[in-house]
Amino acid sequence: RHFFRDQRLLAGKKVLITAGGTVERIDPVRYLTNDSSGKMGFAIAETARSMGAQVTLVAAKTSVPAPGGVELVRVQSAQEMLNAVIERLADSDIVIKAAAVADYRPVETAVRKIKKNDEEINVRLVKNPDILQTVGRMKTTQYVVGFAAETERIDEHAMDKLQRKNCDLLVANDVTLEGAGFGTDTNLVRFYDRQGLVEALPLMSKHGVARQLLTLIAERIQTKEG
């Protein structure tokens, strides 16, 4: 009986998840992106679905296939991801921002392929909108979870992002550690809330991290609902 109940911890909940690395176009055949594989976000989507949630997955560039049984929305740029998320925000109970959003995009995207005429060219970049911060500002009852990939002073940066972006929970990982970086099947993470460090998980599979994270979220929103 307990097993069944645990499996359905998110029954009836609408969960919006972002995954992958955004693609910022320079011209029709070239772009800026990052090493995100999408594996962490996909593991969360798959696990949320198995826990009974209705999942919408907004995915940018990923190197693994998306899980089935979820509503998949494909996007490229941070701006497209922002629009896709904002459109669905009011209809979500939980928002999990696992995507690696490019911090900058080219000021302009050339309509035609750039020819190699000049010895030197410049690609001017401009800051992208912060999707998580926007969600943090707009949220009403939604439980909002952010991610932070850090290479130093994890606790400090994580708490700063949590506060700045008005998240309910933040998942931080030290990408310099073995098995915790982009593209791996494992992750080494810590959870933070407003009060500080909640849990430091040992190295485990991304599916294991997803299960721990979603179980914690389910507990937290149940307490909130009373």
Binding residues for ligand CTP, rule: CB under 6 A, are: 78, 97, 99, 101, 103, 128, 130-132, 146-149, 161
Instruction: Answer yes or no: 122 catalytic.
Output: no
- Binding to Ca ion by residue 103, rule CB under 5 A? yes
Q: How many CB atoms lie within 10 A of CB 32?
A: 18
97 is in an annotated binding site: no
* Separation of alpha carbons 91 and 223, rounded Å: 21
Q: Annotate 168-202 with b (16+ C-beta within 10 A) or e (fewer).
A: bbbbbbbbeeeebbbebebbbbbbbbeeeeeeebe
147 is in an annotated binding site: yes
**Joined tokens for residue 21:** 């690395």
Cβ proximity to Ca ion: between 53 and 85 the closer is 85
Q: How far is the CB of 147 from ligand CTP (least distance, A)?
A: 4
Phi and psi of 63, rounded to 5°?
A: -110, 5
Q: How far is the CB of 96 from ligand CTP (least distance, A)?
A: 8
- Binding to Ca ion by residue 150, rule CB under 5 A? no
Cβ proximity to ligand CTP: between 11 and 42 the closer is 42
CB 200 within 8 A of CB 192: no
Closest by Cα among 188, 196, 195, 187 to 156: 196
- Binding to Ca ion by residue 174, rule CB under 5 A? no
Q: Across the beta sheet with 54-59, what order do the strands follow?
A: 71-74, 54-59, 14-19, 94-97, 143-150, 169-174, 189-193, 196-200
CB 26 within 8 A of CB 32: yes
Q: How far is the CB of 217 from Ca ion (least distance, A)?
A: 23
Select the binding partner of residue 42 from Ca ion, ligand CTP, none (C-beta < 5 to 8 A, by kind). none
Q: How far is the CB of 127 from ligand CTP (least distance, A)?
A: 8
Piece of 51-59, 87-95, 102-110, 137-145 that binds Ca ion (CB under 5 A): 102-110
Closest by Cα among 8, 75, 7 to 41: 75
42 is in an annotated binding site: no
Catalytic site residue from 34, 128, 173, 187: 34
Q: How far is the CB of 141 from Ca ion (least distance, A)?
A: 27
Cβ proximity to ligand CTP: between 70 and 78 the closer is 78
- Per the annotation, binding residues for CTP are 103, 113, 129-132, 147, 161, 165
- Per the annotation, binding residues are 103, 113, 129-132, 147, 161, 165
Catalytic residues: 34
Residues in touch with Ca ion (CB under 5 A): 103
